[in-house]
Amino acid sequence: MANHIKNERWVYVIEGENGNSARVKDLLLMGYDHFSKAMPLTNHVHEDAYEFVYVDQGVVDWEIGDETYHTNAQQVIHTSPGERHRAKFDYIGPSTIWWMIIRDPAQNKEWFGLQEEERQIFVNWMQNCPRIQLVSKDVVVYFKQLKQLLQNQSTVLLDFQLRHYVMEILLHLFHHSQLVVHSPNMHTYTQQLKDRLQQNPSARYSIEQLAKEFGLSESHFYRVFRETNGQSPIVCMERVRIDCASQMLKESKMSITDIAMELGFKTSQHFATVFKKMIGVTPKAWRKQNMQR
């Protein structure tokens, strides 16, 4: 079913706009992306701004400077001013993300209209907060409200409401008050499943088998797994295999067909299709690019 959903992108650039939204100069950009297949996301940098990205669905790997970071659904990752960043391998895989770019509070004494003492609190927090934070899905409500306001701009209090919802998002992160996981046991089980697949990537597990292991009905297991991980069990398992494939393409001289068979794909064509959907390029192209690094 997901294969029939096209990529969807919405981006709003505050600067250059007229009207009430233009008065909120500390919110530079905001966007929403739904990727049904891998898309380019190459190196970029925000010299005077922070970027916050909330992963609503899927799994996204990032490179910030020389470090690699792994994010799952319900996690927010941020970059600081001047940090060069990109999706790992320059492609972001199937996922849904919300993001916003806001001006550095340390460089603007009138930041979002806060008093000096309040602004300094945010300055200190942003300079020291964890790179990745877990938040509840409630934060999506505020992103959607921001999107709706920017699309309609039908109220004279728009600038006030924009500031309000940006603050709500930041406060979700600042207070660490919503470290809610739908099922801690499911998170543990998911990691165990990934470990099993890394040891034996050709293994194939049905939803029926996994649900029986976890002690739930198939439909209940599927729902809890997707709510907890932001992706279906099948997509999660395929992602592990593709990660294994990336390493094998880099570290071995095995043919692409042999790698496909080693990972349990019925044909090299099916393997190539799944690989390109998740990584953004074919196995052959990825191997060539990676060997040039």
Same domain, 25 and 96: yes
User: Helix 158-174 and helix 116-128: axis angle, to 10°?
Assistant: 50
Task: Give Cβ neighbours of residue 93 (< 8 Å, ≥ 6 apart).
Answer: 35, 38, 58, 59, 60, 61, 87, 239, 277, 278, 279, 280
- CATH number of the domain that residue 110 is part of: 2.60.120.10
CA separation for the pair 42, 129 (Å, rounded): 25
Nearest Cα to 146, choosing from 133, 136, 161? Answer: 161
Helix (H) or strand (E) holding 56: strand 49-58
Tell me which residue has tokens 């964890």.
Answer: 130
> End of a domain among 174, 205, 233?
174
How many CB atoms are closer than 10 A to CB 46? 20
> Could you give the CA distance from residue 137 to residue 56 in angstroms, rounded to a whole number?
8
Q: Is 80 exposed, middle or buried (0-12, 13-18, 19+ CB in 10 A)?
A: middle
* Residue 182 banded pLDDT, cuts 50, 70, 90: low
pLDDT tens digits, 55-90: 998 889 999 988 888 888 888 999 999 999 999 888
Q: Is the model's pLDDT at 264 over the cut of 50?
A: yes
Residue 43 sits in the same domain as residue 166:
yes
Q: What does the pLDDT look like over 94-133, one tens digit per residue?
A: 899 999 999 999 999 999 999 999 999 999 999 988 888 8
pLDDT of residue 187: 78
- Look at the chain and report how many structural domains it folds into: 2
179 within some domain: no
Domain assignment present for residue 223? The answer is yes
Q: Quote the tokens at residue 13.
A: 């650039």
Does pLDDT of 24 surpass 90?
no
Question: Are 154 and 31 found together in one domain?
Answer: yes
pLDDT in tens, 143-177: 999 999 888 877 778 888 999 999 999 988 877 54
Range of the domain at 142: 2-174
The DSSP symbol for 7 reads: P
- Cα–Cα distance measured from residue 120 to residue 127, given in angstroms and rounded to the nearest whole number: 11
d(CA 287, CA 119): 47
Identify whether the C-beta of residue 71 lies closer than 8 Å to the C-beta of residue 132.
yes
The DSSP H or E segment spanning 217 is none
Task: For residues 31 and 153, state if they share a domain.
Answer: yes
Per-residue pLDDT at 1: 36
CA gap 10, 219 in Å, rounded: 32
Residues 162 and 190 in one domain: no
Same domain, residue pair 273 and 231 = yes
Q: Hunting for tokens 């194939």 — which residue is that?
A: 204
DSSP assigned state of 178: T
| pTM for the predicted model, two decimal places | 0.75
CB 176 within 8 A of CB 133: yes
